[in-house]
Amino acid sequence: MNVARAAFRLLGDSLDPERVTSLLSVTPTSAVRKDQVLTYTTDEGRERLHPPAPTGSWDLVSEPPTSEPLERHLEQLMAVLEPRASVIHELRASGLRAEIACVVMAARGRIQLPPEMLERMGRLGVVLVVEFFGGTS
């Protein structure tokens, strides 16, 4: 079974998560300032600290089930992002990097994106990053 997930990410040392959230009017899946230390709870119930964030990040992860094709994840993100194109351009102009990061887990295969999807991402000025990991057959 193939597994896919996509996330829109803004990255930069000067990133202010509250400002980005306010400008985009979207609640992120996760957001952190540079050097911010976050805590997490292990499966055993112990609290641990993440290392300080190397840069600021604001992430919006796609909502479809991971079993859906990558294109479905991208469509969902684009439906949220395209109406906010001017804000994304403003944030990029302020020095933040914008990307759509995708993860695909599959024993084998390939992905194929239509030119229209690539054009839509290009109009937003986002970089497309796709990571592949071997899955099970």
Low-confidence ranges of the chain (pLDDT < 50): 1, 137
In contact, 125 and 10? CB cutoff 8 Å = no
pTM (2 decimals)? Answer: 0.86
pLDDT for position 136: 55
pLDDT for position 1: 47
Residue 137's nearest CA partner among 108, 113, 103 is 108
The C-alpha torsion from 79 through 83 and 87 to 77, rounded to 10°, is: 0
Rounded to whole angstroms, how far apart are CA atoms 94 and 12? Answer: 10
For the stretch 17-40, pLDDT in tens is: 999 999 999 999 999 999 998 887
Find the DSSP H helices in the chain. 17-24, 70-81, 85-93, 115-124
pLDDT for position 45: 87
Q: Where are the domains of the chain?
A: 3-134
**Percentages helix, strand, coil for the chain, rounded to the nearest 5?**
30, 30, 40
